[in-house]
Amino acid sequence: MPWFTIEEDALSQQQIAEACTRLLAEARTRINGNLKRVLLLPPDLTRAHSGAGHITELLYRELDAAGAHVEVIPTLGQHVPHTEAENKWMFGSIPHERIFAHDWRNGCTHVGVVPGKYVDATTGGAADWDIPIDLNTKLMTEQWDLVINVGHVVPHEVLGFANHNKNYFIGVAGKDTICASHIAAAVYGIENNLGCLVTPLRACFNYAEEKYMKHVPDCYIQIVMQRDKENKLVTSGLFVGDDLETYLQAARRSREQNITVFDKPIKKVVAVMQADEFRATWVANKAVYRTRMAIADGGELLILAPGVERFGEQPEVDALIRKYGYKGTPYTLALYKTEADMQAIPHGVAHLIHGSSEGRFTITYAPGHLTKAEIEQVGYNYADLAEMQARYNPATMKEGWNTMPDGEEVFYISTPSAGLWATKDKLNDPHRRDLSSPEQLAEAEKAAQ
C-alpha cells in the first residue's frame, strides 16, 4: 500500500511542499535513517507542465539543507539532454553540476532480462523476444541511501499510464531495453495500451523491478493532475510509496480525471504542442497518440507545433523518419523485416507505427521550423502555422468544443500530453487486455512457465 496519499480538487503549493517533507520523514523511518547520498529521478522537460521539476527542487533543497549529497538524473530515455538553461528552467535552483544527463548508448549496465516466454505470454503472442534490462550505470553501481522517482501519471501510449517504473526501464534504460520494449508495445497495438492500468509491457517491467531492483532503496512520488473550473491544469493527487499499489492508485485517479469519453467520434481536433516542451515530432506526436481513439474515420487532427524543428530526438531516428515516414503498420513492419537501418533502432520503428493514423484520418502539422516538403515527405499534411494560429488562436479558443465564425465545429485541446480522448466503444473494446487483474496476470505468468 502507499505510504500516504493526498487527494483534492486542487492541491496548494503548501500541501505539495508538506508532502515532500513528509516523504523524506517516511523514507528515514522506512528505508534509511541517515540519508547521506540521495538520487532524484524526475521526468525531463516534456513533462514540465506537471510541476515535477518544482517538486524535485523542493526535495533537493530540503535534503541539501540536512547535509545530504544529492544528485539528479532526468529520465530522458533517448530524448535530447537538457542544456544548462533548460535545467534551470525545469529545476530552478538545483546546481547544474548536480544534474547528470542520462546516456542511453554508453552509460548503462546490464542487470538482467525479461525472457521472451514471459513477453509472449503477456502480449498474447504478439511479441516473443527477450527484453534485456540495461540501466543507468550511476544508478546501479553507486551507493545510494535513497532513490526518489518523481513523475506524472497520465494516459500513455506504450505503458497504458506513464511513470512509476517507466522511470527505470525507459527513462534511464539503455538502447537495447528501449528498442526491444517499444517494438513489443507497438506490435501489440497502441490502442490496446492507452488507458489500461497494467499493459503487457507494464507487466514485463513489473517483473523486472521485482527480479532486479529489490536491492535499490527507492520510493515514488506520483503526480496526478486535472483541469479546474477555469480549465487550468492543477495537481489533484500525490501518491507516495514504494510498491505497485502506489502506482495503481494514482493510475485509477488519472483514469477518472484524465480520460474524456465521447459517445460518437469527433470530426476535427485542433491540438497545441507548446514550443518550450515539444521540438520534435517524436514527442509532439503525443497529439496523435492521445486523440486517435476519438477521431472519426475520415476526420482530421490539426497539430499547432510552433517549436517543432525536427522529427527524431536523435540524428539516426530523425533520418529514419525522413526516409520511411508515418505510413502505417503493415508497410512499416514489412520493411522492418528486410531493412538493416530499421532493425538497428526498433524503437524508431515503433514510433513510425504509433505516429500513423493507419489511413483512418488525416494528420495535418503546422510546424514552426519544418517546411511543407519535409512534412509531406513523412506522410502528413502541411498547414501554415501563422494562418492556423490566426484561425484557431490559442489565446481565444476554449478547451473542448468551439464553433468557428464560418460554422466549422472543432474540438480544441491545449495540452494533449495531459490526457486521453476516446470513444466509449474504443475504450471498452473487449480485446484490450488489462493485466491489473490478478487472475489475468496469473494466467499469463502460468503460460510463461
Cβ-contact 200, 184 below 8 angstroms? yes
Phi-psi region for residue 67, left (φ > 0), alpha (ψ -120 to 50) or beta? left
Read off the pLDDT of residues 284-306 as tens digits, 9 standing for 90 and up.
999 999 999 999 999 999 999 99
Q: What pLDDT sits at residue 441? A: 75
Cβ-contact 356, 329 below 8 angstroms? yes
Q: Residue with C-alpha cell 530515455? A: 77
Q: What pLDDT sits at residue 149? A: 98
Q: What pLDDT sits at residue 282? A: 93
C-alpha cell at 261: 469519453
Burial 302-312 (b: 16+ CB within 10 A, else e): bbbbbbbebbb
pTM (predicted TM-score): 0.91
From 3.20.20.10, 3.40.50.11440, 3.30.70.2860, 2.40.50.100, which CATH number describes the 4-259 domain? 3.40.50.11440
Q: Across the chain, which distance is largest between two alpha carbons, in Å?
A: 66
Q: What pLDDT sits at residue 448? A: 66
The DSSP code sequence of 58-75 is HHHHHHHHTT-EEEE---
- Quote the CA–CA distance of 170 and 127 in Å, as a whole number: 18
- Quote the CA–CA distance of 148 and 258 in Å, as a whole number: 25
Q: How many CB atoms lie within 10 A of CB 377?
A: 16
Q: What pLDDT sits at residue 46? A: 79
Cβ-contact 273, 284 below 8 angstroms? yes
Query: Which of 166, 173, 94 lies closest to 139 in space, CA to CA?
Result: 173
Cβ-contact 42, 72 below 8 angstroms? yes
The type of residue at 35 is L
Q: What pLDDT sits at residue 382? A: 98
- Quote the CA–CA distance of 198 and 433 in Å, as a whole number: 8
Query: Which of 43, 222, 40 lies closest to 138 in space, CA to CA?
Result: 40
Q: Which CATH superfamily is domain 263-414 in?
A: LarA, C-terminal domain (3.90.226.30)
The type of residue at 67 is G
Q: What pLDDT sits at residue 263? A: 97
Domains of the chain, residue spans: 4-259, 263-414
Cβ-contact 325, 193 below 8 angstroms? no
Q: Residue with C-alpha cell 533543497? A: 61
Which regions of the chain are under pLDDT 70?
Answer: 448-449
Read off the pLDDT of residues 4-53 as tens digits, 9 standing for 90 and up.
999 999 999 999 999 999 999 999 999 999 999 999 999 998 788 899 99
Cβ-contact 200, 180 below 8 angstroms? no
